[in-house]
Amino acid sequence: MYQGSCLCGKVKYEIHGELGPIGLCHCSRCRKANGTAFLAAAQVNPDEFKLVSGQECLGDYESSAGVHRVFCKHCGSPLFSRRPGPAVVMRLRIGTLDTPLQAKAQSHIFFADRAPWFEFQDDAPKYAQRPM
Ligand SMILES: [Zn+2]
Ligand SMILES: [Zn+2]
């Protein structure tokens, strides 16, 4: 089980399952939404995600058609994205985890759009856009 929370601690969650591979996204939307060089996220099964507290603090911004970025309205921490549909896709912002992760990042996507001020020295595959 994994536990996580936002910066102010009002939002707390648990994941009763495994995380998907860690992906780093360098697209401009992710850079802006997180105020940093890239987003670190992992897919989680929505059925295994349990909000422990802070439901009333959740804000939701549709950054592109069908993609909702969910954050804490009190402290601004980005928490996860949600793409509704027949199979809801939920991507957790893993920087909000309180449980330490052993896994390393598996891939970089939209690497062509990366911030020029940070050098990457890892061996994870780097895709110019989204891998097919
Ligand atoms: Zn918060
Ligand atoms: Zn992105």
CATH number where 106 lies: 2.170.150.70
The pTM assigned to this predicted structure is 0.94
Distance 126 CA to ligand 2 centre (A): 14
Distance 37 CA to ligand 2 centre (A): 11
**CA-to-CA distance for 71 and 60, rounded, in angstroms?**
6
pLDDT in tens, 31-54: 999 999 999 999 999 999 999 999
Distance 3 CA to ligand 1 centre (A): 15
For residue 105, what are the domain limits? 2-113
Q: Which residues contact 104 (CB under 8 A, 6 or more apart)?
A: 22, 122, 124
* Tally of structural domains, the chain: 1
pLDDT in tens, 59-72: 999 999 999 999 99
Sign of dihedral through CA atoms 116, 118, 123, 127? negative
